[in-house]
Chains A and B, each alone.
Chain A
Amino acid sequence: MTKDAGQAEGDWSQLMRDAIAGDQRAYRRLLTAMTPVLRGLVRARAAGMDASWCEDVVQETLLAIHVKRATWDSGQPLRPWVYAIARHKLVDAFRRRGRRIHLPVEDFADMLQAPPEPDMLERRDAGTLIGRLPERDAALLRCLALEERGSDECGARLGLAPGALRVALHRALQRLARLRQEET
């Protein structure tokens, strides 16, 4: 199951460089490739937690990777940076549950990938969090992420031109990431 580390390393770092340069397809490929790895490591570290709790940590990690990507040094390999974020989010999630754990960084080096949960549809946590955003941010994310409508349709519904929608989406995601932090 483990991929050839060297090969994957080159891929991830290059994909992120392309993504930061504005290549959305590369970015989507990168996030898609990361997700099973993140899922595997969260489940391995969080034995006893249910799958939806783990998936929530995976999503928080993806969101943090997104809003914090400026903190990656493009001259460095991406993987240690990703693991550091995942570890931080996992520790944070445990802390919120009132469980203290010790996670050595080295343990994150080799892990199995895990398949997605098939029945992971409406997530209550994400829904409640989105509900706590300012109304327009909430409406936009509800339309895009929960109802899964296209950006044209959401833009039309909220009266946002494509440029304004991009700005609004950026701001809404930044706020969502901050909310997840402040929710403790």
Chain B
Amino acid sequence: MRTERLIDVLAADDTAPRPIGPRLMMQAGPALIAAAVLALSILGIRSDLGAALANPTTLMKWLLPLAVAIPALYAALRLTRPQIRHTPAQFIPALIGVLALVWLALAAASTAPDLLWPQVRGRTALICLISVTFIGLAPLLVGLRILREGACVSPTVSGAMLGLASGGLAAAFYALHCNQDAPLFFLTWYGLGILGLTAGGALLGRHFLRW
């Protein structure tokens, strides 16, 4: 193929390019909400939601996941541009993660050793982990399909950021149901749920987001 001819052929394809950000919101957003509505319609919403939101410790069940998800989503979108190799926003989730670990360590240190595991385990660890993963998987998979049209130069990082965003938002939705308010419980299981989706996003991204 002659290069000049390739240019002619490329110029003949006048289908307008579609920006990635709006498409991600319009497709992964509904996927997230559909999965969350389905999960919450089975699990139900906690009856004392108003009181929970007024309690600063319990409020962290929403604030921490959102503080991870929002910068991660922003970073995932920024990183679809090929000249952007990294962005400050991608380090914020790690910072929040460190803060959560410190809080977890402090909470563990102030708990009697024989109560530690019962507190961490709570009553609904498995449901929590499954729900967060289920809700987050929908926007992660839909979102990866869209990010694929981007030009991510670090596919693993891009996938991880989308996983963090999906996991964080999923945890925030799940918190509408979950009435286990011990920091030892939610820091552990929300954290593990989000990390699982992050690892999944990184692995899938590494493969699917190459171009």
Complexed CA–CA distance, A85 and B83 (Å): 8
CB pair B11 A31 closer than 8 Å: yes
Complexed CA–CA distance, A105 and B211 (Å): 18
Q: Is A157 an interface residue (CB 8 A)?
A: no
Stretch of A4-12, A58-66, A131-139 on the interface side: A58-66
CB pair A85 B82 closer than 8 Å: yes
Residues of B within 8 A of A88 (CB): 82, 151, 153, 211
Instruction: Select which of A70, A148, A181 is within 8 A of B17 by beta carbon.
Output: A70
CB pair B150 A68 closer than 8 Å: yes
Instruction: Select which of A27, A81, A144, A170 is within 8 A of B15 by beta carbon.
Output: A170
Residues of B within 8 A of A120 (CB): 2-3
* Whole-angstrom distance between the Cβ of B157 and the nearest chain A Cβ: 14
Residues of A within 8 A of B80 (CB): 71
Complexed CA–CA distance, A178 and B210 (Å): 9
Residues of A within 8 A of B83 (CB): 80-81, 83-84
CB contacts under 8 Å to B, within A156-184, are: 166-167, 169-170, 173, 177-178, 181
**Looking at chain A, what size class is its interface with the partner chain?**
35 or more
Residues of A within 8 A of B52 (CB): none
Residues of B within 8 A of A167 (CB): 15
Q: Is B19 an interface residue (CB 8 A)?
A: yes
Which interface residue of B7, B149, B153 has the most chain A CB atoms within 10 A? B7
* Whole-angstrom distance between the Cβ of B69 and the nearest chain A Cβ: 22
* Whole-angstrom distance between the Cβ of A65 and the nearest chain B Cβ: 8
Q: How many A-B residue pairs have CB under 8 A?
A: 107
Chain B 7-25 interface mask (CB, 8 Å, partner A; 1/0): 1111111111111100000
Instruction: Select which of A22, A32, A68 is within 8 A of B211 by beta carbon.
Output: A68
Of all chain B residues, the one with the shortest Cβ separation from A178 is B211
Complexed CA–CA distance, A63 and B13 (Å): 11
CB pair B81 A72 closer than 8 Å: yes
CB pair A59 B3 closer than 8 Å: yes
Q: Is B6 an interface residue (CB 8 A)?
A: yes
Given A88-B82, A127-B1, A62:B7 Cβ within 8 A: yes
Complexed CA–CA distance, A48 and B64 (Å): 53
CB contacts under 8 Å to B, within A74-124, are: 80-81, 83-85, 88, 105, 116, 120-123
CB contacts under 8 Å to B, within A14-65, are: 20, 22, 24, 27-28, 31-32, 35, 55, 58-59, 62-64
Given A64-B151, A71-B80, A71-B82, A144:B3 Cβ within 8 A: no
Cβ contacts A to B, 15 pairs, < 8 Å:
A20-B16, A35-B7, A62-B10, A64-B211, A68-B82, A70-B18, A70-B20, A81-B81, A120-B3, A123-B2, A127-B1, A145-B1, A166-B13, A170-B13, A173-B9
